[in-house]
Structure 1
Amino acid sequence: MVNIFLSRGNTAMFAMLLFIGILSFTQVEFTAAQSVGVCYGRNGDNLPTQQETVDLYKSNGIGRMRIYDPDERSLQALKGSNIELILGVPNDKLQSLNDAGAATDWINTNVKAYSSDVKFKYIAVGNEVEPNANEAQYVLPAMRNIQNAISSANLQDQIKVSTAIKSSLVTNSYPPNNGVFSDSASGYIKPIVDFLVSNRAPLLANLYPYFSHVENQQTVPLNYALFTQQGTNDAGYQNLFDALLDSLYAALEKAGASNVNVVVSESGWPSDGGVAANVDNAGTYYRNLINHVKGGTPKRPNGPIETYLFAMFDENRKDGEESEKHFGLFRPDKSPKYQLSYN
């Protein structure tokens, strides 16, 4: 038996070290808990008010939100909430923000006016703009003007400027280490990536194993997309989410941006309206995703992975496939569609 004697000074030192250890552990746990946010779209009927929605985020411990336009009622409701925010610049506003004065006005009206009470984290300048679309030419100039406006407002240390892309901009994605930006996308994305490097900003990416499975059912098994596969495939991957994310990291490395981090700005699974779209599969995906992003990927093992679930509510007025209308985590009456723990 070893007798340990602690003097009064040693006792104080021990207590302090113990406190620091507990504090560090708590911070790690908090960081992991805060890795999951939820996207808030309003393209549906009979949805709760913006204030009710913010209250729903808070009551469920959801500490991060993405909104797709500077909706005044949403920004007012977010005041004092401590919820971290991705604020979107809609694609139809990109051209107007190629004017530096308009970009300054946009930031002053929608960001600076709220910045003392709302925790802006990222400005997403455009969402899933296709490289061959007319809007593509306006994305980078708008990003530069928004960045300059943020710097003029002295908010550059708080807010990073980026854009949200589709994972389909990457080709040769299997095995993931072979990932590279496609020839059709490289001319568009490379200057944007250089901007992110210069400003130490992350790339926002919308990753959907659901669509990869639906479009490639013979080669992408359902359990691989749902995180339920036992064991790894011949590339060393156990789930499609990690493979998609690491193929994007591989593409960034080849573009000279190995230090750019990826924020998963959307990921979800529909509960109806398409192949494999049902409540059981969607609940399985969301539960496993929330748990999984506390860690990292084979290529980037040090997590957590900052991830935003899509979406808070079903949006029955959305265009496109029927499944697009059924990604909600909550029903319009605010009842949960799934039993999930966000923190």
Structure 2
Amino acid sequence: MASMLTFLGLFLLSLKISYAKAQSIGVCYGLNGNNLPSNQDVINLYNEKGIRKMRIYAPIPEVLNALRGSNIELIVDVANEDIEPLASDASAAAQWVQINIQQYLPDVRFKYIAVGNEVLPEFNNAKYIFPAMQNLQIAIASAGLQDQIKVTTATYTALLGVSYPPSQGSFRDDAKPFMKPIIDFLARNNAPLLVNIYPYFGYIGDQDNIPLEYALFTSPGIVLQDGSFGYQNLFDAMLDAHYSALEREGGSNVKIVVSETGWPSEGNPPAASLENAGIYYNNLIGHVQSGKGTPKRPGRALETYLFAMFDENEKPGADTEKHFGLFSPSKQPKYSISFN
């Protein structure tokens, strides 16, 4: 009987681990296009493809209503124009939570609230990020949702002053006063830091020193030996550089969620191509679902959100920005990908 119970326990643990791996991939739902499917068609496509996590960049009522009953876990960003009011007025934060979160519960599965996306300390809204996070945390706790929904922010590699080698990763000197209270807040509230990780931009920014294979997960062996850690892909190296930066600011226990990663299919040949993007997405998904983690955090699940669901023809910036979609606006897949 004892051996049967032991077997059952191991079996259930195996199921739990397999489920965690299968649930580790999400996809960002961008809306910078004038030719995109209806919100309900998009939710149906998520369900059809087995995509169980989503990030949206503002609490858009039409999207939130379409998500009702879908069981899709959600990152919802605070719109840029709302950050300052939430920072200066606790009652505004409480109202934001009531309007954009509570009225959709329990039909929508909110997981994270992201206050700011890729905000640098020199930006005008930087000083409002942390106080807005504090006020939203108070509102979430007052609603009894602090164990269900975590308040955080989304950052990226430009905040690092040192990113190579990963063990020496550290925030820019001017970013440390900006990040330190945020890191302490995340540690206190057992919340992750969201980080956008793009090996594509790392590669095109330093092609003389970064092999394409290293960025695409296709290197046959270790490319970078960093002390006892060996790196076979740039994704892990970039992620671990952020973990090192967190450690230096007292955030050793803060987990990182990769809130964006992707590769464009066109706009900057030969790096941005349909072939390279397909290789990147497939290898990334395989890496994330393997459960191996990174050299610095082995065996840790890599909750990762691909950017993005669709090509967005109205996205500002370089032409590549319009071609990060996994699907065309007609809902046709651009790559042969198994999400889960």
Give the shorter-chain TM-score range.
over 0.9
Which of residues 236, 240, 249 in structure 1 aligns to 2:243? Answer: 249
Q: CA deviation at 1:101?
A: 1.1
Scaled by the length of structure 1, the TM-score of the pair is 0.95
Give the structure 2 partner of residue 313 of structure 1: 310
Per the alignment, residue 218 of structure 2 pairs with 228
Q: Which amino acid aligns with 1:240?
A: L
| SS of 2:311 mapped into structure 1 | coil
Could you list the runs of 5+ residues in structure 1 that have no partner in the other structure?
A: 1-9
Render the CA deviation track for 1:288-332: whole Å, top value 9, x for unaligned. Answer: 110111220000002220000000001110110000000000111
- Alignment partners' CA distance in 2, 1:14 and 1:51: 49
| Corresponding residue for residue 24 of structure 1 | 13
Show the counterpart of 2:266: 272
Q: Which residue of 2 aligns with 1:5?
A: none
Alignment partner, residue 339 of structure 1: 336
Instruction: Find runs of 4+ consecutive structure 1 residues off by over 6 angstroms.
Output: none
* Cα drift, residue 23 of structure 1: 2.2
Query: Which whole-Å CA distance do the structure 2 matches of 1:24 and 1:178 have between them?
Result: 36
Corresponding residue for residue 286 of structure 2: 291
Cα RMSD after superposing both structures: 1.1
Offset of residue 16 of structure 1: 4.5
Quote the Cα distance in structure 1 between the aligned partners of 2:267 and 2:184. Answer: 39
Q: Does 2:247 align with 1:258?
A: no
Work out the CA distance in 2 between the residues paired with 1:126 and 1:168.
Answer: 15
Does the Cα contact within 8 Å between 1:160 and 1:201 map onto a contact in 2? yes
2:53 matched residue in structure 1: 64
Letter in 1 for 2:225: D
The AA in structure 1 aligned to 2:78 is V
Could you tell me how far apart the structure 1 residues matched to 2:17 and 2:244 are?
A: 27
CA distance, structure 2, for counterparts of residue 283 and residue 332 of structure 1: 17
Aligned equivalent of 2:29, options 27, 40, 45:
40
Alignment match, 2:163:
173
CA-CA distance at 1:231 after TM superposition: 1.0
Identity of counterpart residues, as a percentage?
A: 55
Match for residue 328 of structure 1?
325
Q: Following the alignment from structure 1 to structure 2, what is the Cα–Cα distance between the partners of residues 202 and 87?
A: 14
Which secondary structure does the structure 2 equivalent of 1:158 belong to?
coil
Number of equivalences: 332
CA positional deviation for 1:18: 3.6
By how many angstroms is 1:274 displaced? Answer: 1.2
Structure 2 residue ranges without an equivalent (≥5) = none
Residues 85 and 119 of structure 1 are in contact (CA less than 8 Å); yes or no, is this contact kept in structure 2? yes
* AA at the equivalent of 1:274: N
The one-letter amino acid of 1:320's match is G
TM-score of the pair, normalised by structure 2 = 0.95
Q: State how far apart, in whole Å, the 1-side matches of 2:94 and 2:133 are.
A: 12
SS at structure 2 position matched to 1:250: helix
Structure 1 residue 117, shift from structure 2 partner:
0.9
Q: CA deviation at 1:14?
A: 5.1
Q: Match of 2:150?
A: 160
Deviation at 1:245, TM superposition (A): 0.4
User: Is the CA contact (8 Å cut-off) linking 1:90 and 1:127 kept in structure 2?
Assistant: no
Superposed CA deviations along residues 33-63 of structure 1, whole A, max 9, x for unmatched, are 1010000011112111111111100110101
Amino acid in the other structure paired with 2:149: I
SS at match of 1:95: helix
Give the alignment partner of residue 121 of structure 1, picking from 111, 115, 137.
111
Equivalent of residue 129 in structure 2, options 121, 139, 143: 139
The 2-side partners of 1:229 and 1:220 are apart by 11
Q: Distance in 2 between matches of 1:194 and 1:303?
A: 21
Give the distance between the partners of 1:251 and 1:22, measured in 2 at CA.
37
Query: 2: distance between equivalents of 1:331 and 1:280?
Result: 16
Q: Which residue of 2 aligns with 1:85?
A: 74
Tell me the amino acid that sits aligned with residue 190 of structure 2: R
Pick the structure with greater CA Rg.
1
With 137-146 and 170-179 compared, the bigger mean Cα shift is at: 170-179
